[in-house]
A and B are shown apart, each in its own frame.
Chain A
Amino acid sequence: MGVRCEACVNLPSANVLIQVAIVGLLTGGVYALMAGGLSLIFGVLRVINIAHGAFLVFGAYLAYWLFRLYGLDPILSILITIPLFFLVGAVVQRTMLSRVRSEPGLFVLVTFALAITLEGIMGALWQSTGRSVRTAYTGEVIKLAVLDFNLRLPVVRIVGFGAAIAVLGFFHTLLLRSNLGRAIRATIQNSTAAQLVGVNVSRVQAVAFGLGLAAVAAGGSIFSLIWTFNAASHEEWISKMLSVIVLGGMGSLPGAFIAALIMGVVESVAAVTMTTYLSPIVFYLVLFLVLIFRPQGLMGTRIREG
């Protein structure tokens, strides 16, 4: 280890900082889509779906498969994976998870088992090789000169961010404008009261779980465009998504969105201002600080249970 690097202590230039902050923001939009479904599921069912990361990677594999077999762009494959994962989610919740939902500890164990099962299936189907999708625009950038800054925005991140915002917008409208959305929000606020005013809570729960998986399926397609993955990747991503929804406030979609953007920016700026090794820690420091002052997260509400 005798060689020392003189340049390593130099602070990055303003151009580098702006550049990585913007790319971090674009990445955060994708994190928001990935974590949004997890937050929705928690909001409605009050349980943690540990298999969320595994479904994310499964969605990425499906996008990879559709691309390899039929040349389908991962962004277009969202149109196939969203309804597919919605159905899978609703059925899994209705037939399997609804039986253990009253025991949150057991629910975590069952979804953990589901994650391991999915990992095994993915390993068997696609081997353990790291995969990623290489489209015609992979590696391409859009060059922007703003003020004195020369920015290079990777096309995959812009496309990924745009698709994530579009899907999130669709979900947001669904939750705000439709009767189903009103039923879901009522259940998030108070499931007993929702039941009293005629909401079919068990159906809402199945739909919410399906929507949660549909969101993560879309996230998986975008994931395949930007990062490499293997069957075991889900372990890192579930912890990332959990941190996002804890920071944002469990069950809050706007909270998850803001927290995901914060994570994207903090991660990348930390990577260039200190060592890459320490950069994940900075986000957790932010998380701890927020939780000290707002235990319910940025946008969460305190629940009084008696």
Chain B
Amino acid sequence: MKRNNLLVAGTIVLSLLLAACGGPATTVAPVPTQPPAATQPPAPTQPPPTEAPTAVAPIRIGASLPLTGDFSEPGTAAQQGYEVWVEMVNEAGGLLGRPVELTVLDNASDQDTAVADYEKLITVDKVDLVVGPFSSRLVIPTSEVAARYGYAFVEPAGGAPDVFNRGLTNLFFAQPARGAQQADPFADYILSLPEDVRPKTFAVVSQDDPFALGVVERLKGQLTDGGLELVLDEIYAPETTDFSAIATQVADLDPDLIVGGTILEDSIGQIRAYQEAGYQPRGAFFTTGPSLPGPFREALGDATEGVFAAMSWFPEAEEYQNAEFVARYNEMFGGTPADIPEDAANAFTVGQVLQQAVGNTDNIDNAELIEELHEGVYQTVVGPLSFDEVGAPKGSFMILQWQGDTFVIVGPPGREQAEPIWPKPEW
């Protein structure tokens, strides 16, 4: 009797563990099972029904995303962006007349799992194309897997310096500029302020994340070159949740400007701790967090006023397919345009780039695609994109600032919707 109970319990545990660790694969889009054919009939306007014997083989695209673990939030957003693109492309007749089928594996924010996932997608599942995961930490090792097998690797969210300095030619970063250049327009703005209101001191408090560190390192250099003095430079581990001690130290030094290298939860944690510590800077910039309006506002309320961030995409921007993307996202996942994460738009951009590149080469040969991607200019929801020889995009981010119960674009000059507020009100 006891042995039976143990067996039953053991089986339950094992199955639960397998279910949790095995990385559940989610597949969207129709699944016809014919082998690929050399030529295809003209594009159908609807995906073919699975039972139809004449159905064309789908183009299979694979990705591994952090759907659970530390990066689960942006990872899930990226999955949604990919899914919106798949729906839209299939409705419009697919790629080269073939329906698109997307397989997403969950890497639990773990580098080794992500690498294993791409190995599996390419060698076992034999997908036709792959698209990238979220964040530089996962992009760096997985892009090398894609390179080894000669796959083009268009990715939505890996823009750290180390992404581009490994001699890879198959990687393409589908945002307007390198991640580290995110804060360039903000640095320009600060240094353009009249001398009597320009900040004289600043502090940097950043998560140990290659993306966040890339941005703040570059910004640090630009601000100190511009004459500002760095008074505190702190790096904390990704699992840090309590910022009360460090905020006390920041308040003690009282720098004019605070720069946070954050993801989301830590931007909330930092701002709350600064409020409690009584620290009132003249300006505040956070790498990510303020651009996720729903959770940021819910957690901070009026403390958001005047906070700066950079972003690559904006729901109201008049860019190619942006309005369609916004409408379809809200239709599929609910909410309002303000709820759409930037990461979803970046993933959608990956789809747009891939779609146009495949259209230009007229096949899905990865070697030809890689060549094409180095040359073409692609219309996307973040504006026209092209890539240099290491796959870095050539363009500029926008800077946003919280004003009232939402944020507005305040730069770079020429793209602003409102005047920036300086100094920011107390939080």
Contact B241 A27 (CB under 8 A): no
Contact B230 A5 (CB under 8 A): yes
User: For residue A3, which residues in chain B have a CB less than 8 angstroms away from its CB?
Assistant: 217, 220-221, 224, 230, 233
Contact A152 B277 (CB under 8 A): yes
Q: On chain B, which size bracket covers the interface?
A: 35 or more
Q: Provide the bound-state CA to CA distance between A20 and B299, in Å.
A: 23
User: For residue A233, which residues in chain B have a CB less than 8 angstroms away from its CB?
Assistant: 241
Q: For the complex, is A12 an interface residue (Cβ under 8 Å from B)?
A: yes
Q: For the complex, is B49 an interface residue (Cβ under 8 Å from A)?
A: no
- Chain A nearest Cβ from B279, distance in angstroms: 10
Q: For the complex, is B330 an interface residue (Cβ under 8 Å from A)?
A: no
Contact A277 B208 (CB under 8 A): yes
Q: For the complex, is A276 an interface residue (Cβ under 8 Å from B)?
A: yes
Contact A232 B249 (CB under 8 A): no
User: For residue B422, which residues in chain A have a CB less than 8 angstroms away from its CB?
Assistant: none
Output the nearest chain B residue to A276 by Cβ-Cβ distance.
Answer: B236
Q: Which positions 82-123 of chain A face chain B at CB distance < 8 Å?
A: 99-100, 102-103, 106, 109-110, 112-113, 116-117, 119-120, 123
Q: For chain A, what secondary structure do more than half of its interface residues adopt (helix, strand, loop), or is it mixed?
A: helix
Contact A276 B295 (CB under 8 A): no
User: For residue B241, which residues in chain A have a CB less than 8 angstroms away from its CB?
Assistant: 227-229, 233, 236
Which of A33-41, A132-140, A205-213, A250-258 lies on the face that meets chain B? A132-140
Contact A275 B252 (CB under 8 A): no
Q: For chain B, what secondary structure do more than half of its interface residues adopt (helix, strand, loop), or is it mixed?
A: helix
Q: Given contacts A100-B5, A113-B16, A228-B299, is CB(A268)–CB(B268) below 8 Å?
A: no
Which of B20, B278, B300 meets A141, CB within 8 Å?
Answer: B278
Q: Which positions 224-281 of chain B face chain A at CB distance < 8 Å?
A: 224, 230-237, 239-242, 244-246, 248-249, 252-253, 264-265, 268-269, 272, 275-278
Which of B239, B242, B277, B298 meets A134, CB within 8 Å?
Answer: B298
Q: Provide the bound-state CA to CA distance between A229 and B295, in Å.
A: 12
Q: Given contacts A3-B220, A228-B268, A267-B242, is CB(A16)–CB(B249) below 8 Å?
A: yes
Contact A275 B235 (CB under 8 A): yes
User: For residue A228, which residues in chain B have a CB less than 8 angstroms away from its CB?
Assistant: 241, 265, 268-269, 299
Interface centre among A5, A154, A227, A236 (most CB of B within 10 A): A5
Contact A123 B13 (CB under 8 A): no
Q: Provide the bound-state CA to CA distance between A202 and B303, in Å.
A: 51
Q: Mark A231-275, 1 if CB is under 8 A from B, else 0.
A: 111001000000000000000000000000000000111011001
Q: For the complex, is B301 an interface residue (Cβ under 8 Å from A)?
A: yes
Which of A13, A110, A230 meets B73, CB within 8 Å?
Answer: A230
User: For residue A12, which residues in chain B have a CB less than 8 angstroms away from its CB?
Assistant: 248-249, 252
- Chain A nearest Cβ from B23, distance in angstroms: 13
Contact A5 B6 (CB under 8 A): no
Q: Mark A9-25, 1 if CB is under 8 A from B, else 0.
A: 00011011001100110
Output the nearest chain A residue to B252 by Cβ-Cβ distance.
Answer: A16
Which chain A residues have a beta carbon within 8 Å of chain B's beta carbons?
A: 1-3, 5-8, 12-13, 15-16, 19-20, 23-24, 27, 99-100, 102-103, 106, 109-110, 112-113, 116-117, 119-120, 123, 127-132, 134, 138-139, 141, 152, 154, 156-157, 226-233, 236, 267-269, 271-272, 275-277, 279-280
Given contacts A20-B245, A141-B276, A228-B265, 7 further A-B contacts (CB under 8 A): A27-B244, A129-B294, A130-B299, A131-B295, A134-B299, A276-B240, A276-B245
